[in-house]
Amino acid sequence: MELSDITTPALAYLGDSVLEVCVRTYLVTERGLSTSAHLNRASLDFVRASVQSEAMGRMEPHLTEAEAAVYRRGRNMGHGNVPKSASVAEYRRATGMETLFGYLHVTGQAGRIDELFRLGYGLDAPETT
């Protein structure tokens, strides 16, 4: 399957799960959280549309031309169900972010996913031993 064959909603759907894996990996391996209650509570600091929108704002100046185009593609697609906890603009930016992460996953750019995730959420690079 070619990248051009994947719809924008499908990239956003995939990107949502890619972001979820990033968040869960960070919370377990770097923050050391181990109970589902703590993990679920802490994950909300990453996955709400308003928080994703803020993270995207930090990432946006660092995007390549191709990444920015994919982000805009996701941000500008039609949105039917905007959650009450986010504005339309926040939800659109969050969807653009998910689309970007879906694109990066499909194109095999795991390092870039980690780089942008850390940049967006203001996380330091993990210590290497």
CATH number of 6-121: 1.10.1520.10
Residue 86: phi and psi, rounded to 5, are -140, 155
Distant-in-sequence, close-in-space partners of 118: CB < 8 Å, separation ≥ 6: 124, 125
Give residue 81's pLDDT band: very low, low, confident or very high (50, 70, 90). Answer: confident
61 token code pair: 């100046």
Q: Is 114 an annotated catalytic residue?
A: no
Average pLDDT, the chain: 90
pLDDT digits (tens, 9 = 90+) for 55-67: 999 999 999 999 9
Residue ranges per structural domain of the chain = 6-121
The single residue listed with the structure tokens 């996380």 is 123
Catalytic member of 5, 16, 45, 114: 16
Please report, rounded to a whole number, the percentage of residues in the chain having pLDDT higher than 70.
91
